[in-house]
Amino acid sequence: MSKIRDQARAARKAGRSLAALPGPARSALLHDLAAALRDPAALPGLLAANAEDLALARAALERGEIDPARYKRLGLDADKLASVADGLDQLAAAPELLGRADLRRELDEGLVLERVPCPLGVLGVVFEARPDAVPQIGGLALKSGNAAVLKGGREALHSNRALVAVLHRVLAAHGQDPACIALLEQREELEELLGQHDLIDLIIARGGKAFVHHVQANTRIPVMGHAEGLCHLYLHAAADPAMAAAVAVDAKCSYPAACNAIETLLWEPAAAPALDACVAALTAAGVELRACEQTRARHPDLRPATDADWDSEYGALILAIRQVPGLDGALAHIEAHGSRHTEAIITEDAAAADRFLAEVDAADVFLNVSTRFADGYRFGLGAEVGISTGKLHARGPVGASGLLTYRWLLRGHGHITRDYGPGKRRFTHRDLP
Amino acid sequence: MSKIRDQARAARKAGRSLAALPGPARSALLHDLAAALRDPAALPGLLAANAEDLALARAALERGEIDPARYKRLGLDADKLASVADGLDQLAAAPELLGRADLRRELDEGLVLERVPCPLGVLGVVFEARPDAVPQIGGLALKSGNAAVLKGGREALHSNRALVAVLHRVLAAHGQDPACIALLEQREELEELLGQHDLIDLIIARGGKAFVHHVQANTRIPVMGHAEGLCHLYLHAAADPAMAAAVAVDAKCSYPAACNAIETLLWEPAAAPALDACVAALTAAGVELRACEQTRARHPDLRPATDADWDSEYGALILAIRQVPGLDGALAHIEAHGSRHTEAIITEDAAAADRFLAEVDAADVFLNVSTRFADGYRFGLGAEVGISTGKLHARGPVGASGLLTYRWLLRGHGHITRDYGPGKRRFTHRDLP
């Protein structure tokens, strides 16, 4: 019996008690976890653990083995912890998700059907070297009553260990078995985790596109994750130029490595003033612009784009720009090149806005706002385990409610199916409050 | 370009207009489809097509190439069509599923988030030779606004063609492009269909376990289906013997090939009177009983069971019987051998019932009723595309609402994420009616 199978089994067993927690006890647990992350007495220990990771990562950065963005994500400070704690308090305050039927239906006299939300069971969560993800994911697991086996990026090992210790301390203080949150520490353990299809109900994969594809290709367990984030901003004829420029800069520059950052700007001929404003603002913000021929006819200084640019997720301060004939052209480009993640239009025209919002097939479709709002915290979900670009189960930012399934409970008094049918008993199918 | 890719593309395009249908128009379409199936003028044509299939199947039956159950499922008659028509009317009368937000939240002043249900897109439905499945699946697709590419069992080819013609006629009469429901007729087309991961959003696989496994192993498209239905009936100490016997006979004998039929009867020592009643009733009903040693100590005439019996889905008039020490033993047996489909307990004891209903991890968990109630029509879902034993997305009987996803729509007035954070604007996160 492997260590991981033991951990997954123990997590499943411990998760049962977690699932059965009454709502107020679950909220108290989450509030206490938030308090533990804000506790000034615990801070030095967490920062010391993080400093160990940072020292190793600094050396790797100097050797050119990791990039600066990765190094930056690794850092912990009181502000980051306070923001995670805020999210946990928000989760604690949100309505209890479990146990209460969301559908009650009388099928016949004395025969009552209920559909009751319940946890999936055990989550396998594989995430980047970003220690604040540990309490975030832990909090979502606790809120949804799921156990979790965590495998974080190895650069964050010491920080993850220290944060899992905080989680375990709070769980134990609430009479819960800490085994419900397990941390894997060895890189080889990932493949083994992916092989446990009888013990893990869902793999949540966070990280780069290549990594998510690797996970999907190497497991029979359902995988939730976003393999790609190729988002567009479309400037419609009725776009307000100042708004367009501000949104484009936010959507590209506020965090270029994020999956909800834009990679391509589309504009139609009548939106030339908005395009000009965007080009000026993006250039001033240091963005490399790669433009189609029609765009270059207006802005000859821009570097020419190639066809490959329409399918590139740069994750950096680079943006492709393409002219489209109008709304239909924008919809066709997005259909052909988008990753079904987040798509936005800038327009003051209600009819164009309605059509864009109705017809774009993507998890998030936005009007006159930055694509970077596509985020569980900003959506008010408390936190997110990730953004799903799949259509099955949860879509877009996935919070605690995306980690649930349900069971159908049917209570009767000896009812049998043979008694129903033509010329026999009929179902009443009456929904109950 | 292959024919199937053309059909799938055409279906996707036609599906857009289907998705945009207003609720009343969708209901009218479904009612008209029901009327077309009840139309006495259309009946002879449908029966003639079915007779062609039946003649071929009769010959195959005589050659021993298909079994009698398969032959029986193939038959169409006015009663079967009327019952499908009833389901369609039920779907038509059910509330419209699309277009109306199920969550509305103000994130900040003028920044409003909505979550709006929408169709998955194009369903690939692969089903057994059972012609009544065509209008049933077609109806669920229309109700959920999805296009569908259908691949039915080849023995039903003529019947399927005639029924799809009815669907197409009704669609055309309502101004809808019939291409939204496509029928594949060649067996080789299945593999090709499974390869269209960019055009098909979900495969629904119905049929035997081996077939569903084959589909799952040969596609990158998400698959919904039940690979197994290994259901238990547990006789608790406080079981009423007469009720136990009636439920056991219904759960085993009313349709032994159904996935929601029971394969194993569990009983605890104190439930011996209920066991005796079940053994007598099942024997009288012609069921072959395979019993563990403790059961045979009481009923020495029964054939001995082997360990393989606890994992066998017979799909026939065979039932395994095993004694368990009590509720914990029953829960452990079900956890180890169940397929997470449907599990039932017979008891008059409220505490035992509550524990069983709370702790069994299965799509359907039933008290004092037959497992054969696990069915979309009986649950009041109008019809079902199948029963899902997976935990992701829809679980248990899957009706039209299980064929939906959602999109997050966010409308603002130039809102950008940089304006939010510590010391800046705060989200209001206020749910709206």
Q: What is the mean pLDDT of each run of 10 residues along chain B (433 residues)?
A: 88 92 96 96 95 95 88 90 91 92 95 96 92 93 96 94 97 97 91 93 87 88 83 98 98 92 98 98 98 98 97 94 98 95 97 96 96 92 83 90 94 96 90 93
How many A-B residue pairs are in contact by the CB < 8 A criterion? 205
**Chain B residues within an 8 Å CB radius of A358:** 20
**Chain B residues within an 8 Å CB radius of A239:** none
Angle at B197 between CA B194 and CA B201, to 5 degrees: 100
Which H or E element spans position A79?
helix A78-93
**What is the per-residue pLDDT for A1?**
54
**Chain A residues within an 8 Å CB radius of B144:** none
Report phi then psi at B97, rounded to 5: -95, -20
Q: What is the pLDDT of residues A45-90, one digit of tens each?
A: 999 999 999 999 999 999 999 888 788 889 999 988 998 998 899 8
Q: Which CATH number fits domain A3-225+390-407: 3.40.47.10, 3.30.1310.10, 3.40.605.10, 3.10.180.10?
A: 3.40.605.10
**Domain regions of chain A by residue span:** 3-225+390-407, 231-373
Shortest distance between the Cα of A405 and any Cα of chain B, in A, equals 6
* 3-class DSSP state of A117: strand
B71 near A CB under 8 A: no
Q: What is the pLDDT of residues A285-330, one digit of tens each?
A: 999 999 999 999 999 999 999 999 999 999 899 999 999 999 999 9
Residue among A337, A416, A426, A430 with most chain B CBs within 10 A, to mutate? A416
Which of the four pLDDT bands, split at 50, 70 and 90, describes residue A167?
A: very high
- DSSP-assigned letter for residue A295: H
Shortest distance between the Cα of A112 and any Cα of chain B, in A, equals 10
Q: Which residues of A209-244 are buried (b: 16+ CB within 10 A; e: fewer)?
A: bebbebbbeebebbbbbbbbbbbbbbbbbbbbbebb
Which of the four pLDDT bands, split at 50, 70 and 90, describes residue A228?
A: confident
Q: Could you tell me if B135 and B167 are in contact, meaning their C-beta atoms sit under 8 angstroms apart? A: yes
Characterise B117 by phi-psi region: left (phi > 0), alpha (psi -120 to 50), beta (else). Answer: beta
* Contact across the interface for B409 and A83, Cβ inside 8 Å: no
Q: Is residue A226's pLDDT more than 80?
A: no
A414 near B CB under 8 A: yes
Shortest distance between the Cα of B122 and any Cα of chain A, in A, equals 12
Shortest distance between the Cα of B234 and any Cα of chain A, in A, equals 13
* 3-class DSSP state of B94: coil
Beta bridge partners of B346: B235
**Alpha-carbon separation of residue B26 from A355, A360, A424, B18, B169 (angstroms):** 20, 22, 31, 8, 15
Average pLDDT value for chain A: 94
**Chain B residues within an 8 Å CB radius of A366:** 409-412
CATH fold, domain B231-373, is: Aldehyde Dehydrogenase; Chain A, domain 2 (3.40.309)
B354 near A CB under 8 A: no
Q: Could you tell me if A158 and A50 are in contact, meaning their C-beta atoms sit under 8 angstroms apart? A: yes
Q: Is residue A115's pLDDT more than 60?
A: yes
Q: Could you tell me if B388 and B395 are in contact, meaning their C-beta atoms sit under 8 angstroms apart? A: yes
Give residue A77's Cα distance to chain centre. 22
Rounded to two decimals, the pTM is 0.90
* Contact across the interface for B416 and A222, Cβ inside 8 Å: no
Please give the class, per CATH, of domain B3-95+118-225.
alpha beta
- DSSP-assigned letter for residue A4: H
**What is the per-residue pLDDT for A227?**
66
Q: What is the pLDDT of residues A231-250, one digit of tens each?
A: 999 999 999 999 999 999 99
Q: Which of B258, B400, B345 is nearest to A409 (CA)?
A: B345
Give residue A104's Cα distance to chain centre. 31
The one-letter amino acid code at B371 reads T
Task: Give helix B23-38 / helix B78-93 axis angle, nearest 10°.
Answer: 170
Angle at A350 between CA A345 and CA A353, to 5 degrees: 25
User: Which residue carries 């909220």 as its tokens?
Assistant: A27
B254 near A CB under 8 A: yes
Residue B213 to residue B190: CA distance in whole angstroms: 14
Strand B303-304 and strand A122-127: the pairing is: unpaired
Which of the four pLDDT bands, split at 50, 70 and 90, describes residue A38?
A: very high
Residue B213 to residue B300: CA distance in whole angstroms: 38
**Chain A residues within an 8 Å CB radius of B87:** none
**Chain B residues within an 8 Å CB radius of A416:** 246-247, 249-251, 254, 369-370, 372
Which of the four pLDDT bands, split at 50, 70 and 90, describes residue A102?
A: very high
Residue B150 to residue B179: CA distance in whole angstroms: 12
Residue A10 to residue A248: CA distance in whole angstroms: 48
